[in-house]
Each structure stands twice: as structure tokens, then as C-alpha cells.
Amino acid sequence: MSRKPTMEDVKNLAGVSISTVSRVINGTRKVSPDKTEAVNKAIEKLGYKPNELARSLVMKRSNTLGIILDDIGYGYMAQYLRGIDEIGKMYKYDILLYSTFGDFEIQKKAVDFLSSKQVEGIIVISEKINSEILYLIREHEIPYIILDQFYSPEEFKTITIDYKQAMYDMTKYIIDNNHKKIAYVRERSSSYSAESKETGYQECVDDFNLESWVFNTPENSIEAGYNFLEKNIKKFRDYNITAIVADSDALAIGMLHYFYDNNISIPEEFSITGFGNTEISELFKPSLSSVRMPYYDIGAIAVRMLVKILRESEEFEKSINLKHEIMERETVRKLKK
Amino acid sequence: MSRKPTMEDVKNLAGVSISTVSRVINGTRKVSPDKTEAVNKAIEKLGYKPNELARSLVMKRSNTLGIILDDIGYGYMAQYLRGIDEIGKMYKYDILLYSTFGDFEIQKKAVDFLSSKQVEGIIVISEKINSEILYLIREHEIPYIILDQFYSPEEFKTITIDYKQAMYDMTKYIIDNNHKKIAYVRERSSSYSAESKETGYQECVDDFNLESWVFNTPENSIEAGYNFLEKNIKKFRDYNITAIVADSDALAIGMLHYFYDNNISIPEEFSITGFGNTEISELFKPSLSSVRMPYYDIGAIAVRMLVKILRESEEFEKSINLKHEIMERETVRKLKK
DNA sequence: TTGAAAGCGATACCAT
DNA sequence: ATGGTATCGCTTTCAA
């Protein structure tokens, strides 16, 4: 059980000073070829690996980014993390994760934890983060970026998509397929993204002067979508609604489950769309038309921005909008004119 | 831009020695009530938080566990991580993740990285890890546990399920539904888990003396399942096969896609089962009967074991088998006797 | 009970 | 180009 070799060991074996060892490792200064070789040989022989903890301590740079997120299990989280991870590695930053399950107390803990781990920056990914948390991060004087859909991009700088335009485009896609009577189904909540999406929908149906109904569900989940239709399918039929625009994939999948269980063929009897382009939207049959959020890119850019702030101590001046994409799949039927 | 407060600052404000501050924080020794209060007040006032890096350096304990995984995006990975995260927090261990995409060179890097970050233990989660990586971890003298399905539980200690028994049970479930002609579809590969599963299947159909066919696909994916049926559906019909046991959910979902696209009703025309109980198996319609792997528990127990090894420098003596569960859902039809 | 000082494993400044 | 040494923020031994 031999102790891990340190620079001290390398120094002794190579017969040089400890400073020289450091120089060889970091290439910070010129070192004569023979000493360089001696050091490298010693390193090789000992299997020496620098202790990053000690290095971070003296350099006051942990090379670590902290991520505060609700739950790693959310389908899109992995995509965010891939983007963050990949670009993070590119800039030699490591990622420290902290799951909070959306709990305020745990979120506070997360900030303290990451701070004590000396992370250089923090990315907050949450469906709804209490603004107090953001102030707490500020107190710690750690640069941060939030990836959130609750506040407006003016209020808190973020990287996002143009929700209004995205839902406008989705609605337009429905209309282009000649649907005249459309229902919009959303969770009853007042997040910025939810409001924007509804506005986009509304503007589009107004622009085309179509009949439209807006419905609320108590929450955003598959069950909520299912229960919603159970209660309202009759209305849909009475109103001759032919297309349903859901504000999330979960709601849409819930409705598809209802349709399946009740032998209602999709898209023959109803067309339906989701939002988010989660994995299930692609794998479900019929596959669900949805709006793709560029999660990977959002994560990637978040890191880029953070690194920029860190390196150049610039401010994050304005929110960035990335492009969304309408994924046309099997749940939308083209009606005759 | 005030520097983060250190113990030095606390010491000055509280008018005690730095050792006393340390004692108050860690409760390592008795400190008089008045000094204790003075220190606590100073800490409060300054908003002091210990620098974990410095602490780890001197204590030679990073309180960190490293996880080497293929890709955070795999559906089941989140479940593993939840178990790891939760139990890790319980024991005050933090988690450092490293995605390798199954690449050997990156895996080597991961080990070096985690080692330099002074992680106390490593959990490797991979579909197929090169044994060289394990030797590398050993060289670093870091205790580790692998969660892998490639090697036998005798060869490398792990936490797993009894694959053979699981597939036996799944086959039995099919047989209990009176299916007499069954097909087994698996990826052509020779991992331990794949072999065990096939053995379990085989033993079961043999025990009941049933007609059975085993098929191979070039890989384990949704596409492979789809393409497989495209080529073989005729045989299935010719042989009057009524049930398909797939060795993974992915293969089964691929086949379900094929059935959907070709208007073959499930489970009326064919019964089919998967393995893994991935999220999609539950959300798909018809929902897929599958074998549940207790991912969360596997992750949780892995941490427990690792902590035990760390604390008591015990060895990890033998692999642990957790219970699987047959999830009976909509893709299996009960035939008349 | 308390404080002074050594040391954890590195970097970087200041000499030489 | 090279070496000696202070320092990073903390814990812990050793005296007092």
C-alpha cells in the first residue's frame, strides 16, 4: 500500500529541485533538455500524477463548474449535460453535479456545497428556481448562468429559444395542414415560457382568423393529459375540433394514451402536437410531431459563455436565443382544403 | 470583489487562535462556551464557509466518489445515478462524473483524472469495459466497483441480477399464457448477461418441452429490431410463432414499430416481451411487458459497498444479486388452452 | 482549554 | 536555466 508519489519523490529520483519538476510538468519556463528528460523519466517510473487538489489550492483555480439541477432523470437533462460536459472538457473544466429535486432548502445547500468546493462558475438548470437562490449565488460572487423557463430572458439572462415564435410556427404548421378548429391545451401556470407559448399560439390563430379553444390542465404530466381528455373529449367532438396543440410532450403523450385506450385513431380523428421533442415523442407510435429544443446546444453555449465570463470577467449582457425546429411526424394529418 | 473569508479572518474577528476556530467548526475538542460563541458569531458575520479543497488536502480525504460511465444519456443511467447520488449524500460523499462513450482511451483518461482529483473510490458503469481499465484502477490503488454486464459475477465482483433466472421467469410468464411456439431474439454478442439470458430462456422452453427458435440481430438497437422483423416476419408466420421474447427493450420496441407500420395488431397477432424496463417500455402503447432491473438499488448498494470497503478496508468478497421483477403489461396476450 | 507551528502537495516569486 | 522558499487554507500534534 505505497503512498501516492508526490513531486517530492519525483524531485529526489530526478535529482533536481522541486521547482524544476513543476516547470517540466507545466511547461511554464525553459528547462534544459537533460533535466527535462530526467524528470520525465522519474515521473514515468513512479507513475506520478499531480494532485489536483493541491494545485487548485495554490492556483486558486479549481477548474470546476458546478451544475445545480432538479433531477438527473428528466429526459432532457441528459442532453443538457452532454453539451455542458463536452464543451466543459474542451476548456478543461470538470463538472460537479448537484440534484435538488426542486427543493428550495436543498438548492441553498447546493450553492454552499459548490462554493465550498471552489467551483469557478455555476449553471442552474431548473424548471422553476427561486430567485433567492440566484441572489445567494451572487453573494458568493460566483459567476453563474441559469437555464430556466420561468423568468423572462430580460429578468434573468439565459440561453433559450423564442417560445412565442416556436409555438407560432407549430400552430402555423397545423394550419398549413388545413385544420380550421383547433384546441390549445396547457398547464395552468404562469411561467414565462408557458405564457409566451400561448401568446404565439393565439397570435397565429388570430392571424388566420380561426376558431380556437384554450384549455387548462392542473399540471404538466402524462396523467394530466389523459385525465383531461377523459373529461373533455365530448366537447372536442361537439366543437368539431380536428387538431390539438399541447404545450408539452407529456400532455400530448397522455392524450395519445387516452386515444389508444379508446380506439380513437390518430391522426385520422385528431391531429396532435407536443413541445420539447423528448425521446418519447420520437419513439411513440404514432410518432409525435413536436418542437425541438436545442438542449445540447444550450448546454454547450452556457459553458462557452461562462468560460468567457470567467476568462475575461465580462458580464453576460443579454439572453441568447437559439433556433427551434418543428419536427413533423405522424400525429398531424393533412386535411383537404 | 472581496476575497472569500478564510479561517484567518474568523480568527481575527473572534480574537482566538486559528486552531480554536478549527475545533469549533469540527467539534474535534472541547472549547469553552464563550469562545465557541465568539467563533460562531464571527463565522456568521463573515459568511465563512470552509474551503473543502484545503481541508481535503490536509486530511487526505476528498469525500468524493468517481463514476466512470459510457454516456449519461442512456435511459437507465439516470436511475443508477439517483441511487448513487442519494446514498452518496447520506454518507457525505460527492460524486464526480466522467463520460467516456465507451472509448478505451477516454476511459484511461477518466481513471487518471479521477485519481488526480483524489477520489476515494470509483464506480464503473459500462456495457462493456476493457479489463485493462480495471487493472489501471488497481494500480492507482483506488477501491472500485464495476456495474457491468459483460463479465461474469465470478470474474469481477459486481452488483447485478440473476439474468438467467430473470429470463427464465419471463419465458415462464409467456408459457403461463399458453404460448406454445416461441421465438427468442437477441443481439449476436457474447456478453455474460446475454449468454445467461439465453440460457434461462432455453432451460425454460426445454422444461416445458416447447417448440422454440432462436434468432440473432447484428446489434442491440431499435433499428436492428425493426430490420430483423422486416426480414423474418414471413418465417414467424410460417412457423406459427405466437410469442417473441426479446433480449432487450430496444429490440422489442423496434419490432413494435414494425408491427405498427405494417398494421399488425399487438398483442392479438403476436405477443412480445422486452428486458430492462426502460422508460419507453412503460410509455409505449401497447405498453411493453419487460423485466425490471433494479437500477436505483444497484447504484445505492454499490455506494454502500464502496463506503464499507473504504471505511473498514474490507474486500468486496462476492457479487450481490438483487431481485428482478416481471412487469406484466399489454404486449402479452393470454391464449386459450 | 488554548495557541504555536508543522505539514498536506503543489505554484511562483526572488535570487543566483 | 535552476534552486530555495513563502504561500494557498486548513488540520493536528505538541507544549503550555
User: CB A1 to CB B283 under 8 A?
Assistant: no
How far off is chain B from A191, nearest CA to CA, in Å? 26
Does residue A195 or residue B75 have the better pLDDT? A195
**How many Cβ atoms from other residues are within 10 Å of residue B4's Cβ?**
17
Q: Are B162 and B192 in contact (CB under 8 A)?
A: no
User: In this structure, are strands A181-187 and A211-217 parallel, antiparallel, or unpaired?
Assistant: parallel
pLDDT score recorded for residue B73: 84
Using an 8 Å CB-CB cutoff, list chain A residues near B73: 78-79, 82
Q: In terms of DSSP H, where are the helices of chain B? A: 7-14, 18-26, 33-46, 52-59, 77-90, 104-116, 131-139, 163-176, 192-207, 222-238, 249-261, 279-283, 295-312
Amino acid identity of residue A82, one-letter, is R
3-state SS assignment for residue B275: coil
pLDDT score recorded for residue B1: 45
Q: Residue B284: which of B254, B262, B264, B263 has the closest Cα?
A: B254
Cell 390563430 belongs to A205
Q: For residue A149, what are the contacts with CB-CB under 8 A and spacing of at least 6?
A: A127, A160, A163, A191, A192, A193, A194
- pLDDT tens for each residue of chain B, 337 residues long: 467 899 999 999 999 999 999 999 999 888 999 999 999 999 999 999 999 999 999 999 999 999 999 998 888 899 999 999 999 999 999 999 999 999 999 999 999 999 999 999 999 999 888 889 999 999 899 999 999 788 888 888 899 999 999 999 999 999 999 999 999 999 998 899 999 999 999 999 999 999 999 999 999 999 999 999 999 999 999 999 999 999 999 999 999 999 999 999 999 999 999 999 999 999 999 999 999 999 999 999 999 999 999 988 778 888 999 999 999 999 999 999 8
Closest nucleotide to A18: CA versus each C1': D3
Q: What is the mean pLDDT of residues A121-149?
A: 91
Q: Are B174 and B182 in contact (CB under 8 A)?
A: yes
User: CB B85 to CB A73 under 8 A?
Assistant: no
Segment A266-281, tens digit of pLDDT: 999 999 999 999 999 9
Using an 8 Å CB-CB cutoff, list chain B residues near A97: 85, 95, 97
User: CB B78 to CB A77 under 8 A?
Assistant: yes
| Of A78, A118, A261, Cβ closest to residue B53 | A118
Based on its alpha-carbon atoms, the radius of gyration of chain A, rounded to whole angstroms, reads: 26
Q: What is the pTM of this model?
A: 0.92
CA A51 from chain center: how many Å? 32
Cell digits of residue B187: 443481439
How far off is chain A from B55, nearest CA to CA, in Å? 10
| Beta bridge partner(s), residue A212 | A182
pLDDT score recorded for residue A2: 65
Nucleotide D2's nearest residue (CA vs C1') is A20
pLDDT score recorded for residue B2: 66
Does residue B316 or residue A230 have the better pLDDT? A230
Cell digits of residue B62: 476528498
Q: What is the mean pLDDT of residues A304-323?
A: 89
Average pLDDT, chain A: 94
3-state SS assignment for residue B155: coil
Cell 468546493 belongs to A117
How far off is chain B from A207, nearest CA to CA, in Å? 36
pLDDT score recorded for residue B263: 97
Q: Phi and psi at residue B242, in whole multiples of 5°?
A: -115, -15
Cell digits of residue B294: 433494479
How far off is chain A from B152, nearest CA to CA, in Å? 28
User: CB B280 to CB A285 under 8 A?
Assistant: no
Using an 8 Å CB-CB cutoff, list chain B residues near A140: 4
Cell digits of residue B82: 439517483
Domains of chain B (ranges; CATH) run 7-59 (1.10.260.40), 64-160+295-322 (3.40.50.2300), 163-292 (3.40.50.2300)
**pLDDT above 90 for A170:** yes
**Residue B220 and residue B218: Cα distance in Å, rounded?**
7
Show which positions of strand D are touched by protein (CB under 7 A).
Answer: 1-5, 7-13
Using an 8 Å CB-CB cutoff, list chain B residues near A95: 97
**pLDDT above 70 for A1:** no
Estimate the share of chain B in helix, then strand, then coil, as percent rounded to the nearest 5: 45, 20, 35
| Of A51, A99, A117, Cβ closest to residue B52 | A117
**Residue A309 and residue A121: Cα distance in Å, rounded?**
9
| Of B78, B115, B139, Cβ closest to residue A72 | B78
Nucleotide D8's nearest residue (CA vs C1') is A58
Q: Give CA separation, B92 vs A113, B84, B274, B308, in Å.
A: 11, 12, 37, 13
pLDDT score recorded for residue B149: 81
**Residue B319 and residue B303: Cα distance in Å, rounded?**
14
Q: For residue B226, what are the contacts with CB-CB under 8 A and spacing of at least 6?
A: B254, B255, B257, B258
**Residue A261 and residue A14: Cα distance in Å, rounded?**
75
SS (H, E, C) chain A: CCCCCCHHHHHHHHCCCHHHHHHHHHCCCCCCHHHHHHHHHHHHHHCCCCCHHHHHHHHCCCCEEEEEECCCCCCCHHHHHHHHHHHHHHCCCEEEEEECCCCHHHHHHHHHHHHHCCCCEEEEEECCCCHHHHHHHHHCCCCEEEEECCCCCCCCCEEEECHHHHHHHHHHHHHHCCCCEEEEEEECCCCHHHHHHHHHHHHHHHHCCCEEEEEEECCCCHHHHHHHHHHHHHHHHHCCCCEEEECCHHHHHHHHHHHHHCCCCCCCCCEEECCECCHHHHHCCCCCEEEECCHHHHHHHHHHHHHHHHHHCCCCCCCEEECCEEECCCCCCCCCC
